[in-house]
Amino acid sequence: MERFKQHRNQERSTRLKRCYGIPFRVYRKIFLKQRRRCAICGVKSANPNLAGNLVLDLHVDHDHITGALRGLLCSACNTGLGFFRDHPELLKRAIEYLNQSADVTADALRQSRDPLRIHPLSLKMAARTLCIEGRAE
């Protein structure tokens, strides 16, 4: 079992070096600098100490053109950036789209005579929008 653990740790360390050009100690330094959290959403790593076992549950995020390391991300944020092809303009458009949709939902909630007919997720999003924008009535 111990031998398997050593082999797995060596594989992960080699992968970090091969794919991103960083040794595990650099990963760990970034991991601790980010306070064991995703650089975007702040979700805390499931691996609190990285002692002995190299559980790399935060993904190395890097610029695909320059190769420059940007930080460590949770799986959801890393995948999200990938789906938007690391393109800031697409992300801005997505934010605008979500904000417009949330405004429509919030307006529908305000105007509805029967709020129970609105989908529960819409209610949650509308409430969140009103709170974020300080428009809660």
Say whether both 77 and 92 belong to one domain.
no
* DSSP alpha helix (H) spans, 1-137: 2-20, 24-33, 75-83, 88-111, 120-132
Residues 20 and 71 in one domain: yes
Q: What is the DSSP letter of 117?
A: G
Q: 28 Cβ partners below 8 Å, 6+ apart?
A: 50
Return the structure tokens found at 40. 């975007």
Mean of pLDDT values over 38-59: 74
Mean pLDDT computed over 54-67: 82
List pLDDT tens digits, range 1-36: 677 767 777 888 898 999 999 998 899 899 999 998
Q: State mean pLDDT over 63-83.
A: 92
Do residues 9 and 64 both lie within one domain? yes
Q: Kindly state whether residues 56 and 121 are assigned to the same domain.
A: no
| Within-domain flag for 42 | yes
Which tokens hold the place of 99?
A: 């904000």
Residue 122 pLDDT more than 70?
no
Same domain, 65 and 104: no
pLDDT of residue 9: 73
Rounded CA-CA distance 125/118 in Å is 11
Residue 95 placed within a domain: yes
Please check whether residues 96 and 120 belong to one and the same domain.
yes
Structure confidence at residue 62 as a pLDDT band (50, 70, 90) = very high
DSSP state letter for 45: P
Q: What angle do CA 128, 79, 125 make, to 5 degrees?
A: 10
Q: Which domain holds residue 13?
A: 2-83
CATH number at residue 71: 3.40.1800
Whether 136 has a pLDDT exceeding 50, the answer reads no
Q: Which residues pair with 71 in a beta bridge?
A: 61
Give the pLDDT of residue 81. Answer: 93
Q: What is the tally of structural domains in the chain?
A: 2
Considering the domain architecture, whether residues 27 and 50 belong to the same structural domain is answered as yes
Higher pLDDT, 123 or 85: 85
Report yes or no on 137 lying in a domain: no
If asked whether residues 24 and 43 sit together in one domain, one would say: yes
Tell me: do 92 and 76 sit in the same domain.
Answer: no
pLDDT greater than 90 at residue 71: yes
- At 96, which amino acid appears? E
Q: Does 130 score more than 60 pLDDT?
A: no
Check the CA dihedral 46-50-55-61 and report its sign. Answer: positive
* Residue whose C-alpha is closest to residue 61's, from 51, 71, 52: 71
